[in-house]
Amino acid sequence: MSAKDNIKQTVTENDVVLYMKGTKMAPQCGFSQRVAGVLNYMQIDYTDVNVLADDEIRQGIKEYSDWPTIPQLYVKGEFVGGCDIITEMTLSGELDKLLEESGVCFDKAAAEKIREANG
């Protein structure tokens, strides 16, 4: 299976996918750590893909999304964004709205705590 086919299958078969450096329990860069931290804190069930484990996936995800950086978050097969975009969406409440509209469960109180702590 090509990297592109693998990526397409992963993002379509899982509601929430984070392509990251490292894993959700052991991120290996600050940007991946920030996004995984938000998703973990909000208790979102997501699939993590460690791009450091596979060079074809690492390059392939950049081509698939036409986005040059890692991490990359997908919800219901759609590319949402990288670290800065996810941070902004979390703080503005847009991420909550996207998750609700997509039928993805998350801890709303945790999302509010993130906004309160950064307000």
Domains of the chain: 3-117 (3.40.30.10)
54 pLDDT higher than 90: yes
pTM above 0.75, yes or no: yes
DSSP structure string for the chain: --HHHHHHHHHHHSSEEEEESEETTEESSHHHHHHHHHHHHTT---EEEEGGG-HHHHHHHHHHHT--SS-EEEETTEEEE-HHHHHHHHHHTHHHHHHHHHT----HHHHHHHHHHT-
Euclidean distance between the first and final Cα of the chain, in Å? 45
pLDDT for 119: 78
5 pLDDT higher than 90: yes
Instruction: Report pLDDT digits (tens) over 76-95.
Output: 999 999 999 999 999 999 99
**Percent over 70 (pLDDT), the chain:** 100
Q: Is the dihedral of CA 4, 51, 86, 41 positive or negative?
A: positive
Tokens encoding 54: 């596979």
Q: Is 29 annotated as a binding residue?
A: yes
pLDDT for 1: 85
